[in-house]
Structures are given as C-alpha cells and as structure tokens.
A and B are shown apart, each in its own frame.
Chain A
Amino acid sequence: MPPSGPDRKERTVSEEFIVMIVEPDWDPASVTEEQWAESIKSHGAFAQAVADAGAQILGGDALQSSSAAVRITPGTNGKAVFTDGPFTETKEVVSGYYKIGARDAAQARELAALCPTTGWIELYPVLQVAGM
C-alpha cells in the first residue's frame, strides 16, 4: 500500500501568514499569578478559535526580551554594526509570533485580531514562491 501524498486531507488552508505580537517588553518577574492565568487562557482561546475556523497554527515561538536581542546594521565599509539590546528608543518589541495557515487574507485578519497582545499585532502574508 503506497503512502499517500499531502492531499490526504481536504485542506481548507491555502495561505500562510505570520502573526507578529508587538508589545512592551515582557518582564517575567513582575507578572502576577492572575495575569499568567489570563495569558494561558487567552492564548488557549486563540488556538481554539483558529482550530474552530478550520485554520491551523503551523508554528510559533515566544521570543526573549529585547535585552537579549541584537540589532545588526550593514556598515559603510562592508562591516556590520552590532547594537546590543535593549533598544530603548522603541517601547514595543516583537515578543512572539505565530505562523498560521488560513483560507484567505480575510480569515487571517479575523483570526489575528483574536491573538492576545498588550500592544498590537502585525499580520504578514508569507510570500509564496511561484510554482511551489
């Protein structure tokens, strides 16, 4: 019996998106028990909403605070310039992201709006390589 291809399941997912969570730096020490519980609940609700819509969470990660981040700017003489975080000139940083598969942009917008953030969300369609 040959293994079947990716068309195994009827897919309602046709486009991929990155849901970027942009919010003030996260300080684990200052988070209360209630806030943590609330976070678990709201991210859980987001995941549930995605699943209920027939869309999919394809991946994602939480990122460390910007004090662990590095900004790299190409230098004039071909040497990169490294600036260690935190980046004090901006209050908000990318604190995490989801990669989701959705039916179309409209559905992705709807779902991304449900993603928890204390700042805002940026939604980027993944650039699909032609012919893939």
Chain B
Amino acid sequence: MAVGALEHVFRREWPRMLAAMIRYTGSLELAEDCLQEAMLRATTARDRELLINPGAWITTVAKRIAVDTARRDAVLRTKLPLLAAGEASDFVLDDHLESPIGDDRLGLLFVACAPELATETRLALALRFVCGIPTVDIADAMLVSHTSMSARLTRAKRQIERSGIRFAPPDGANEAERLRDVLATVHVLYTVGHTAFDGDQLGSRPVATTAIDLARGLHAFAPTDSETTGLLALLILTDARSAGRVDDQGSVVTLEHADRRLWRRDRIDEGLELAALALPGGGQLALQAGISGLHSSAPTWAATDWSAICSLYDRLVDRWPAPSAQLARVIARSFLLGPQRGLDELADVEAELPVSTTRQALAARADMLGRLGRVNEARDAYIRARSHERNGPIRGYYGRRIDELSASDRA
C-alpha cells in the first residue's frame, strides 16, 4: 500500500534527490542505484520525517547506502576515495557540478544532453533523469527491449562520467550548437508528453508540463536567443489547445473538430507574443511556433489561414528539411490546394519518408482520400495506419473513421 501512496512523492522529489545524489557521489550510476534502494526502503520505513520531508529522508538514506557501497567495492573505493571515507559532501565536488540556474530539472537536462550522445539517447536519459520515468517504460515507448535500453542508458552514463558531468549550461566555442541540442531534446520531450508513442493515454500530462517548465527555464536563461523563445512559444501555443483533445469515447479529436472554446486564450496570447519575438530569427522552432500560432488564433477551422501557414511551412522545409516537416507541409498544402494535389505531393515525398513517419503518412493519405470521396481506399488506408499506430486514442479515432467510411460505403 505504502508504495502507491509514496509514488507521487518519488515523482515529485526525484529531480532534487537525483541531482543531490549525483553531486554527492560524483557518479550517475551510483547516484541512481542508491536512490532506488533508498526509495525501496522508504516503502517499509515508519519514520515521520518521511511524511514531512520525504526528499530529505530518502536522500539521507541514499547517501548512507552510497558510502557503504563505496567502502565495500574495491573499484569504487579507488574511484571515489572521499565517498568511501564517508567524507563526501555537497561541497567537495567541483563547482561546475552545482547547477547555477536553480532548477535541478534544468541541471539534469544539461547532464542528459551531453554532446557525445545520440539524439535518442539524450531523450531517453532526459525522460529518466528529469521526469523520473522508469527505464522499462522508456524502453516500451521507444520499442526497444528492456535489457538493451538499460544497457544503452548505462553506457550513456559512463560516457558522460568519462567526459565530465555537466549541470551547467553550455559555454565556450560550441555554446550555440549545444543549446540547439538542449532545445531539441525539450521539444521531443514535450512531443512525447503531448502524444505518447503507445498506451491508453493520448499523452503524459506530467511530462508535457515538465517540458514547458524546462522551456521557461531555458528562456529565462537565454531570453535573447530567438530559438529558445521560439521553443517556449511553440510549446505554450500547442499546449493552449490541449483541453478536449480526447472525446468521451477516448478517441483523439482532430484540429478540425476541436471545440475551440476550450482553448486557453490567455496562453495563446502569451504564446503569440513570444512567437512574434522569435519569428524574425527565422529558426525552425520559431517558424513552427508561427504555424502553431496561426492555428491557435483561427476562430474556426474554416477560417484557418492556410495560405499564411503554407508559406511558413515553405520557409520551415527550406531551413529544416526533416521528414516530419515535409509531411506536415504537404498536409497543410492539401487544405490550400485541394486533396488531389495533396495526394500527388504526398507521393513525391513518400519515398523519402522514414519508417518513423509511416503511420502519419498513411493517416494523411487516408484523410485526403476521404475528402476526395474515395471511400474504400480511404478506409483501407486508415486500416493500415491503425496497424502501425500504438497510441490508444489515435487508434480509437482511426477506428471511428473506418466505421464511418464503411457505413457510407454501404449507404
């Protein structure tokens, strides 16, 4: 029972505890292992400090475990002599281990976004470190086996340790490039929170909220950087439309059918203001924010300014020819130029689309076929899209379209 009751405490306190343990031990692996063990002990402990200051209780126990472990383990004893001597403290390690920006989540984000790691690994590590999501869940979400994900994370942690744990924001020669990496990771983090890879839930609210907090933190840190502003604008504008994204049947509601009265006007205004500041920079996040802003400020689906949206997509693809951007551009153009043109353009880009965008491409094709009244083909395309989709609410939507198309075929 106590496990369930303490779970949200673990989630809430995780970044602070993890950051403290990394500073204390100087090791990502040891920090995490000791924290896990301490949290396990917390579930059976009966200490009132656990009620009022659970983070302090768990961290204290974890530190004790770390010292014991370092004493017992010959390798650790050489590697972390201060820890083994029980003399480690938050202050013995180098200053650069202290997060200068206050928010431990931001500090952990910088740790996870180490330049030597692949994009996917950074995301996995950010989900683990910043959001406290269990490795097995990350593995499931990324379609990787549990053992290989855990091996990948272990490898990543060792790589980071070798080149130095950095809680600090990037500085020096590669500053701009590293900041781009960090922004990209936060963007993907939000995307995962917004629409999960799989599961019954459309997304994960805590992950989305964390991503927005991180974007706010980054923006406060680098307020004049237009892409940082663009990221915050993009996330705020997208998030402002999150109410009512799932209907009573648990199916996702498309933008076309969204109840726009549920959208957060105050957030949209805030996002539009930021987008206006970011757009002159012309970066890919700023352009995406601009596109999101045009959707958010359209009073109805019919009133959507597709011409303005398409010209922003032209600039986006010009700047950032990623498959997802190309696909989104084709979809937007199909609303400006008609579904037949959309199908033609889809055929042009389809060959170059990677497997990761297969289901979106299939769904886009299904939608265009449906708008052309090619009912049978549309239904088949939705069936194929559904076979590639693992997100429950999206599958629910495809299922409904399949039913509707079957019904109209019979009629």
Contacts and interface: CB of A to CB of B under 8 A. Distances in A.
Contacts of B2: 36-37, 40
B101 A3 contact: yes
Given A1-B171, A4-B220, A60 B48 contact: no
Interface string B46-72: 111111110010000000000000000
A72 to B, nearest CB: 24
B155 interface: no
B8 A98 contact: no
B23 interface: no
Contact of B5 (A44, A61, A96): A44
B86 interface: no
Nearest to A37: B1
A79 interface: no
A129 interface: no
B51 A43 contact: yes
Residue of B47, B49, B175, B216 with most chain A CB atoms under a 10 A cut-off: B49
B8 A48 contact: yes
A37 to B, nearest CB: 5
Contacts of B102: 6, 8-9
B164 interface: no
Contacts of A4: 101, 220-221
SS class, residues of chain B in contact with chain A = helix
B294 interface: no
A97 B48 CA distance: 11
B349 interface: no
Contacts of A91: none
Interface residues on B, range: 20 to 34
B222 A9 contact: no
Nearest to A28: B46
Nearest to A64: B48
B1 A9 contact: no
Interface residues of A, number: 29
Nearest to B9: A44
A33 B49 CA distance: 17
B5 A40 contact: yes
A95 interface: yes
A44 B48 contact: no
Given A28-B48, A62-B49, A37 B221 contact: no
Given A1-B221, A40-B5, 7 more contacts: A3-B221, A8-B217, A9-B216, A40-B51, A51-B12, A60-B52, A62-B47
Interface of A: 1, 3-4, 6-9, 26, 28, 31, 33, 36-37, 39-41, 43-44, 47-48, 51, 59-62, 95-98
16 contacts: A1-B169, A1-B171, A1-B221, A3-B100, A8-B221, A26-B48, A31-B46, A33-B1, A36-B46, A37-B2, A40-B50, A43-B52, A47-B12, A59-B53, A61-B56, A62-B50
Interface of B: 1-2, 5-6, 8-9, 12, 46-53, 56, 100-103, 169-171, 175, 216-217, 220-222
The 3 closest A-B pairs by CB, nearest first: A62-B48, A3-B100, A40-B5
